[in-house]
Structure 1
């Protein structure tokens, strides 16, 4: 006599179907000492709503013909989430997010605001999930659904990708050391700035301005790339390295 699912929340409320023979006219279904609510009954199945409980309990079906052999049902506590990493990502989604906590073994879904993603369970204390696309930039609540229920409490922030304007000044010596202002949008979470692939020291002035010092480079126009937690943007040929004078 199978039972499906064979586990559910300690708070009860799980829809459980028990299949077997001679089950018609079931008068009661017990989860341990507690009685479940019968919602459907045929000669080969009984569907119930589990009562609250803890641990592992025997489940029996009583009909006018007697009481069945017991089946085991496992009560699972609600998950607890302790951390999420990274805490932000591009609005388009697609990056891998790790959630740590306890009671995650039976996780079936991770909700990012109104969007839902299917997780990969690493172990009871950790899962990974590919962040779905966000509706817009900004924070959303993150919840994990397991056989034990759904738990909230974490926040993930969607970030739009950066845009770049014209650098000022947009040229300087090949030796580097030129102070440059880069205008744009969504620059607050800037992680790196490169000139032709070479990293440059930078400071975030505000969401629309970066202050950068050029690294040494080769003569000619070079691409300038700004990478944020929301993605990357490149000013193609945005800065020109000038040859020094010769006499």
Structure 2
């Protein structure tokens, strides 16, 4: 308290009633600062100098309430200390100490009679936090020191840019984890399975590596470049886009983001085999299928691509030939009738390719080749296979 008056410079005593002040300092001839001793009721404060004793001024002792704590937030922190906590209660305005167990807080600030902010000192285990005021020491609230987490591994180490996949984090001291982040982005959700495992759902991200961080009341642990976002594959073409029902032929898939491919499928059937040539190309061996189109897709850690169409073709069938014979010198045309002739790529006349015209899926007109008199096989080749040969007979010129 501050005493103001005149003739105070030679003060030899300050009394609260008959009790000397706990201490006092003469600031000037007109001011003294003094620390009140313990007391009760209303007393007269006087100053004694060689010139005599001053008049008295009234000072009233008021009973200080015992502080009471109702909550502490957060109620856990790192063993290294430094956690800022907020204490809520009553009768806190005169606080002279905040203790975590028997250790004083690193620092504290009285915000109001109902709130104090304090910085936890280093410690271990669970301790009682108390506040001391002139009215006494409060009840204790539990504060738990948590060990710093250690993130050891992430599995899988890559996933789609769209996120949504589950990633398992392995390490130590994961209990009470408060956040998991991929780069700067929080996980969509996470579950603390045990003190050594967390299952987290990866958020969306951009292609490339990011750090993964686990935060607990004990601190944070970061594994740099622990998770790689992979772009979903994109297909633009399959060449050739048709093939036989038996499969076994090789097709080339073109697109982008193909380098991480883990599967190639024709409909729901996996390719017999595939090889990644580059980020833009995959060569795949087609599996067997049924007549008609199927969607071809590529799957990687980044997801499954858009589909491109591939069509399974039945082998061509030649039902009839007209005419069935002609001059050995050739030069005439022959009409083949059957099914699956539309995609004809070659007609073999006695094993030799000949020119042809596709009229429809059921008719092909071919040019007869010259050759020795006698029967010759004609077959049609399409991406679906080769037809069963039909016989055409070359007839020699008559001799007289």
The two structures have a TM-score, normalised by structure 2, of: 0.57
Q: In 1, distance between residues paired with 2:255 and 2:342?
A: 29
Show the 5 A alignment for 1:143-222. 143-222=297-376
User: How far is the alpha carbon of 1:65 from its aligned partner?
Assistant: 4.0
Distance 1:162 1:14, change over 3 A: same
The structure with higher relative contact order (CA 8 Å, sep 6+) is 1
- 1:126 lines up with 2:281 in the alignment: yes
Q: CA RMSD, aligned part only? A: 2.0
Q: In 2, distance between residues paired with 1:92 and 1:47?
A: 44
Q: Where in structure 1 are there 5+ consecutive unaligned residues?
A: none
Q: In 2, distance between residues paired with 1:206 and 1:235?
A: 19
The alignment partner of 2:323 has SS state of coil
**Higher mean C-alpha displacement, 16-25 vs 189-198:** 16-25
User: How far is the alpha carbon of 1:12 from its aligned partner?
Assistant: 0.4
Pick from 167, 178, 194: which aligns with 1:42? 194
The alignment partner of 2:228 has SS state of strand
Identify the residue that residue 32 of structure 1 maps to in structure 2: 183
Distance 1:196 1:61, change over 3 A: same
User: How far is the alpha carbon of 1:133 from its aligned partner?
Assistant: 2.4
Give CA-to-partner distance per residue, 1:65-88, whole Å, 9 cap, x none.
432231421112222222221111
The alignment partner of 1:234 has SS state of coil
Which has the greater radius of gyration? 2
The alignment partner of 1:184 has SS state of strand
Answer whether contact 2:174 2:192 (CA < 8 A) is retained. no
Identify the residue that residue 79 of structure 1 maps to in structure 2: 233
The two structures have a TM-score, normalised by structure 1, of: 0.90
The alignment partner of 2:389 has SS state of strand
Identify the residue that residue 87 of structure 2 maps to in structure 1: none
User: How far is the alpha carbon of 1:162 from its aligned partner?
Assistant: 0.7
The alignment partner of 1:133 has SS state of coil
Answer whether contact 2:211 2:222 (CA < 8 A) is retained. no
Identify the residue that residue 29 of structure 2 maps to in structure 1: none
Answer whether contact 1:38 1:47 (CA < 8 A) is retained. yes
Q: In 1, distance between residues paired with 2:169 and 2:274?
A: 28
Identify the residue that residue 19 of structure 1 maps to in structure 2: 170
User: How far is the alpha carbon of 1:43 from its aligned partner?
Assistant: 3.8
User: How far is the alpha carbon of 1:50 from its aligned partner?
Assistant: 0.7
Answer whether contact 2:177 2:192 (CA < 8 A) is retained. no
Q: Where in structure 2 are there 5+ consecutive unaligned residues?
A: 1-151
Answer whether contact 1:199 1:215 (CA < 8 A) is retained. no
User: How far is the alpha carbon of 1:31 from its aligned partner?
Assistant: 0.5
User: How far is the alpha carbon of 1:153 from its aligned partner?
Assistant: 4.4
- State the number of aligned residues: 245
Q: In 2, distance between residues paired with 1:157 and 1:53?
A: 36
The alignment partner of 1:224 has SS state of strand
Q: In 1, distance between residues paired with 2:193 and 2:212?
A: 16
Q: In 1, distance between residues paired with 2:301 and 2:212?
A: 18
- 1:106 lines up with 2:260 in the alignment: yes
